[in-house]
Structure 1
Amino acid sequence: MGSVVESREWYLASYSPEGVPNSDNLKLRSLSLSLDSHSIPEGHVSLEIVLISVDPYLRTRLTGTLDGLYIAQYEVNEVITAFAVGKVIGSRESKYSEGDVVLVPSAPLAEYCIIPSSTIARKIHAATGISLPHYLSALGVPGFAAWVGIVVLGDPKPGSNVFISAASGAVGTIAGQLAKIRGCRVIGSTGSDQKADYDLGRLFFFGSLGLRPSWHFGVNQLGPIPIHLAYRIPLGQYPTSPSVWVGSVRT
């Protein structure tokens, strides 16, 4: 690879207050980067971005309003950033060398980048049974969210019935596995029968509800089951009846 590359990156062209962002809101641009160690500032590294985690919180940073969020909005023309795995190409930081694989909590959504070494969370060392995508899934934000909800806050006991919404998603699948490890029966809800079949056939949940044609239709399929812990992943509207929905707390 030459020392100068053309790198494409995604940036915010305009805010998207509601709905799905489109090509008017998010655009690609190219820039030339010199990546060798002699061309980057002291204390920086140049990276090839290998994997990017596109997490739901990114959507909330594209609206132009804080709305109680703890994390700032992107500025117009600012590059989008996310959790990523990168490979070091050049380094002016003694802790990192060419070829190191690193985890970066706020990396540009780009092919290549130059970042301060202080923004790197850690080196990733080869480990048996752990692949690079695991660091952005089970060992990343989705896994952390699932672990906090199930293990730290929920703390279900063996034999408990645990309900998980969006149970075939990144967080829901891990939350369900954590509950199963603790000896619980897991019941999930999904947006389709195909996803429900995945929960039952691949994740071995006790039950899974495809919420079509309606929530109540899916609940009636399983019959009355007491729910001891409900883990809500807020992706849509749910009924508020306590017999069905109790929130992310022990009952």
Structure 2
Amino acid sequence: MARVVGGEHVTVESVTRPGAEIHDYEPTLTDVGKASGAQLVLDNGLGLEGWLGQFVASANVPHAVVSEGVPTVDIADQPGTPNPHTWMSPTNGQRYVDTIATALSDLDPEHAAQFRENGDRYKEQLDEVRTDLRERLDRVPANQRALLTCEGAFSYFARDAGLSEHYLWPVNSEQEAGPQELRSAIDTVRQNHVPAVFCESTVSDRQMQQVVEATAEVVRGSSDHSPRF
């Protein structure tokens, strides 16, 4: 988002490498050194990057929280604790874009109009994503509009898409599902004839594979294939 909004006027680098687990990332001295040379640090906020407070203090660089002002939903088993994965919603993504455009405009007023223009174009694309998503899912039988993932990171996506959300654990890759959570996931696949289940690349898929194995016969009997993973 920052690259699109900033365009040619900014250079954007990620602290975490592709595929890294964001929750428990441990910044290196090289990371702090790179950030110290930056003019702005953008973070998601809402506790997603638990390490960021100390990181920003060490780098001593201004930063903006891109999730600021976004309506949140709580983590299922933690009332009062917002689910930090707010960018999964195209609607929330539009708020991110506005926040980023404002932060960059404060940093570089000369190009504020360009940042706003880039942001408006990107928000139009997010509108198209949201509309296309709902139109495609409207063709799916209502009882199959269930999203089963390892982590409950898709609450905002499920809300926008009209999906019922199911997962093995609510948040944090250090957790594992207990017998009750596994049974609930298996029942979800069986009752809704879920054709595909998902797991993030940063966590072990061992338990989700157990769900697939446990439901293979049931799903195969109704649709002639095991649930895809």
TM range (shorter): 0.3 to 0.5
Indicate the structure with greater strand content.
Answer: 1
Indicate the structure with greater helix content.
Answer: 2
The alignment's TM-score, normalised by the length of structure 1, stands at 0.36
In our comparison, the structure showing a higher alpha carbon Rg is 1
